[in-house]
Amino acid sequence: MLSGDKAIELWEQVREKLRNEAGDTVFDNWLGLLSLSSFSEGKIVLAVHSKFHKDWIEPRYGNRLRTLWQGFNKDVVSVTLIVDERLSGKTTRKVEDSSSSILNLSSPLDPRYTFDKFIVGPSNNFVAAAAERISESNDVTFNPLVIYGGVGLGKTHLMHAIAWKIREKNPDRKVVYLSAEKFMYQFVRALRQQETMTFKEQFRSADVLMIDDVQFIAGKNSTQEEFFHTFNALVDQNKQIIVSSDRSPADLEGIEERLRSRLGWGIVGEIHQTTYELRLGILQAKSDDLNNSSVPKNVIEFLAHKITSNIRELEGALKRLVAHSQLVGRPVSLESAQDVLHDLLRVNNRRVTIEEIQKKVADYFNIRLSDMSSPRRARAVARPRQIAMYLSKQLTSKSLPEIGRTFGGRDHTTVMHAVNRIDELCIEDSLLSDDIELLKRTLDS
């Protein structure tokens, strides 16, 4: 028969054995939190202070705990784990209450970035609809939502808008929004301070986890590992995950395949380059926000036509123009716009399109423009086509799938192969390298 004193003595032996087998880090962060709760008729009950810890320990060490107990005393017939929240103050002082500390992890939200300030057009209507659907529903309808697109097209605006809407609709939901860079910083900090358990518990108690610019964890294997497990834990709990990136999950280089696969599970939506109508709408709305009605319609139309790179640059141009007008007392006009924004306009005038690249490369190698999108594989056609794909990747901000679509609907892997192949050939073949440099100078001029 197992007495109380004997059970306590055996538990200390089991703990020592666990520490030797699992190592100090795992024991201190996980197994050391177990307490002997009760023992009766060979039934051992061990307690831990949270379901989070129980769910981590049980599948990994449940059988081993029973084996160790039985190895020390054959009267032990079972070992059961339970949750006893009263232990939270005794087991560790490092673990803060998740409901309060988790909000400290979240980055501040910009009050300007709400849905009513987000101008919707053909280039972003699908992503905007998905974002609003998620923010208005308490149920997780699709998970994750991945928003991707080039720089300055409104990804961060949408992320902030989702967070604002969820917090407004249901203040009790724990929404955590932060950049991938900050996620990595928090994780590294937890490792250095031996607080990984706190880190895991805080992030995995979120109801909505939003990670901006996930491409920044490329090549950071430890951070990717942690994000992968956090992702799985939240999905298993039916919690919402929203991620933004500068390219689609399939094109994220330096990201593990299993993580790219997870990111592709739900809805993947692209914010495309802006149209003239969308740029016009954005400028008109921004002019209203600036409380400045002195920007003539023809100037707004001029800016919408000339500055096509991204929304951030477009809004910056308008602010710059208005600020100059207020400071020097000069009315906003087409002439002042061309004068004040001459550097920005010059850069946008030089911006190269894929169509221009295709035409220039076809002329240079004396092939038909239609060969750029044709299925022909003859080397005289295939090599110039690969060069055009390479230059499209080098000189434009288009994603690999976008480039592939303009070359006869080719897959992004074909474009990736072309880029890598031309990179290799430029090292081996100085004449080809010279050809490409000449094409670049011609296109830039």
pLDDT tops 60 at residue 360: yes
The string of pLDDT tens digits covering residues 365-413 is 999 998 898 888 888 899 999 999 999 988 887 788 889 888 988 888 8
Beta bridge partners of 178: 211
pLDDT tops 80 at residue 184: yes
The string of pLDDT tens digits covering residues 410-432 is 888 899 999 999 988 988 888 88
> What would the mean pLDDT of 117-141 be, rounded to a whole number?
89
Residue 159: band (very low, low, confident or very high) from pLDDT cuts 50, 70, 90: very high
User: Which residues contact residue 389 at a Cβ distance below 8 angstroms, ignoring those fewer than 6 apart?
Assistant: 403, 407, 414, 415, 418, 419, 422
Architecture of domain 276-349 in this structure: Orthogonal Bundle (1.10)
pLDDT tops 80 at residue 5: no
Q: What is the pLDDT of residue 160?
A: 94
Residue 86: band (very low, low, confident or very high) from pLDDT cuts 50, 70, 90: low
Q: What is the pLDDT of residue 362?
A: 92
CATH 3.30.300.180 residue ranges for the chain: 4-91
CATH 3.40.50.300 residue ranges for the chain: 104-271
Q: What is the pLDDT of residue 291?
A: 61
Asked whether 161 and 131 are in contact (CB, 8 A), the reply is yes
pLDDT tops 80 at residue 95: no
CATH 1.10.8.60 residue ranges for the chain: 276-349
More confident residue, 26 or 207: 207
What does each C-alpha distance from 12 to 5, 35, 82, 242, 429 come to in angstroms? Answer: 11, 10, 19, 44, 70
Task: Give the CATH H-level superfamily of domain 354-444.
Answer: DnaA protein, C-terminal DNA-binding domain (1.10.1750.10)
Which of these ranges, 72-81, 86-95, 109-118, 283-292, has the smallest mean pLDDT? 86-95
Domain 104-271 = CATH 3.40.50.300: yes
Per-chain mean pLDDT for the chain: 84
CATH class held by domain 4-91: alpha beta
Q: What is the pLDDT of residue 395?
A: 81
Q: Which two tokens stand for residue 134?
A: 């998620």
More confident residue, 238 or 290: 238
Instruction: Determine the Cα angle at 301 with ends 295 and 303, to 5°.
Output: 80
Q: What is the pLDDT of residue 372?
A: 92
**CA 162 – CA 247 distance, rounded (Å):** 20
CATH 1.10.1750.10 residue ranges for the chain: 354-444
